[in-house]
Amino acid sequence: MEKTAFNRKPFNILWIVLAAIYVIWMTFFLKYDTYPGAETGINGSKTVYVLWTVFSTAALLMFPVYIKWFLGAKEPGRGLRIFCLINLIFGCVFVTWYGFFLNPFEYTASMIGLQFPWHFKMWGLFATLSVFTNVLYAYRSNQYYGKAGVLCGSLGCAAIFVTINVPSAGEELILNSLRCMSHWTGALLFAFLMAASIVIFLVHQARQKDVRYIIVTALFCAILVLMLVLLAVIGKDGVIEGLPMWAAYLVLFLINFTGLFRTGQTPAVEPAKETVTK
């Protein structure tokens, strides 16, 4: 008897728990009038708030489905490959387009969201969808089933749902402000955990002594370090904030949709299986 090498059950449980926590938070703790309506896009409408809660919860519950599609027993086909390519391109275009609603050298994505709250919500949804699914596709295409990477990606995606529901409190870090700390915590967890899901995969591939992966791993990590240095020296702005996102999109595109990282002996997608003897 054969079974897939990746056990999805813990992640199904994880996402059900995360979705339940989200619904409880949205229902009993966060209200439709908690923050200024113009900054959340809810505008004091209970109906809009309920509809958004239902829609965003459904979006959360799709993540274990994505894991099943890409890391389950069934081999991803051409349809999922096209799905990944389309949402990768769309995600990159949307994130870039949104970042230029206001001067990106003065306004971060969060600050732009104070004036364009629904676009900011979509920014969070499209960014997580496009990066997470393409990370999973990269894993499966290279027969890599790292649970640590999937866990980091899952928690990072869940974290952004806090950020898009709690508007920015401004450019200053206000340590005694629940609003400020909630927004920043969600954003930072999203950035670092999603980057970690990519770095974990790149390091694994680089350890196989593949020069191509060694180079791209070094470059990707260098961009992350550069972003931190620029933030410390120059301060926050949209362009610096966008560097790791653009780098992630480029790396995932090269891995998933070009032959640059594929050996002649390795198929684009092949299910990893192990034999179980009874």
Q: Give the model confidence (pLDDT) of 205-230 as tens digits.
A: 999 888 999 999 999 999 999 998 98
Confidence (pLDDT) at 235: 76
Confidence (pLDDT) at 170: 79
Distance of CA 278 to the CA centre of its chain: 40
Is the confidence at residue 268, as pLDDT, over 70? no
Q: Give the model confidence (pLDDT) of 92-151 as tens digits.
A: 999 999 999 999 998 999 999 999 999 999 999 999 999 999 999 999 999 999 999 999
Predicted confidence band of residue 198 (pLDDT cuts 50, 70, 90):
very high
Q: Rounded distance, CA 247 to CA 263, Å?
A: 23
Q: Give the model confidence (pLDDT) of 145-190 as tens digits.
A: 999 999 999 999 999 999 999 999 877 778 789 999 999 999 999 9
Is the confidence at residue 272, as pLDDT, over 80? no
Q: Rounded distance, CA 106 to CA 102, Å?
A: 8
Give the pair of three-digit tokens for residue 254: 């090269």
Is the confidence at residue 274, as pLDDT, over 50? no
Percent of the chain with pLDDT over 70: 93
Give the pair of three-digit tokens for residue 118: 């629904």
In which element (H, E) is residue 122 found?
A: helix 117-141
Q: Rounded distance, CA 166 to CA 2, Å?
A: 46
Residues 6+ apart with CB under 8 A from 155: 189, 193
Q: What total number of domains does the chain contain?
A: 1
Residues 6+ apart with CB under 8 A from 261: 205, 210, 212, 213, 216, 254, 255
Q: Rounded distance, CA 117 to CA 109, Å?
A: 10
Q: Which residues pair with 275 in a beta bridge?
A: 2
> Considering the chain, what is the average pLDDT of its residues?
90
Confidence (pLDDT) at 278: 33
Q: Is the dihedral of CA 181, 187, 190, 193 positive or negative?
A: negative
Residues of the domain holding 158: 2-275
Predicted confidence band of residue 43 (pLDDT cuts 50, 70, 90):
very high
Is the confidence at residue 41, as pLDDT, over 90? yes
Contact of 137 with 76, CB cutoff 8 Å: yes
Q: Rounded distance, CA 59 to CA 125, Å?
A: 8
Q: Rounded distance, CA 132 to CA 167, Å?
A: 23
Predicted confidence band of residue 70 (pLDDT cuts 50, 70, 90):
very high
**Whole-prediction pTM:** 0.91
